[in-house]
Homo-oligomer: A and B are copies of this chain.
Amino acid sequence: MKYGARNQIEGKITKIKKGDVMGQVSLEIPAGSVMNSVMTAESIEDLGIKEGENVKVIVKAINVLLVRE
């Protein structure tokens, strides 16, 4: 499996919240950090994911914003 994206992390699902159209999935990534993904509720169903399972987390580099505080 090769992805055309610069950011690829392993994550473990900690919470799944399904709304009417969209849903939110919370993940734990290495070093104890938390990440969140939003997709359609249909995509969550098709993925067939459950809390505790591992998934691949993909983010294209163009969607990463840097801020210098």
| A1 engages B60 (CB within 8 Å) | no
| B42 engages A6 (CB within 8 Å) | yes
Task: Knowing A2-B67, A62-B62 are in contact, say whether A40-B36 is a contact too (CB < 8 A).
Answer: yes
A residues with a Cβ closer than 8 A to B are: 1-7, 9, 11, 17-25, 27, 29-31, 33, 35-40, 42-44, 46-49, 53, 55-69
With the chains together, A49 CA to B23 CA distance in Å?
23
With the chains together, A61 CA to B22 CA distance in Å?
11
| A60 engages B62 (CB within 8 Å) | yes
What residues of chain B lie closer than 8 Å to A17, measured between beta carbons?
Answer: 21
What residues of chain B lie closer than 8 Å to A30, measured between beta carbons?
Answer: 30-31, 33
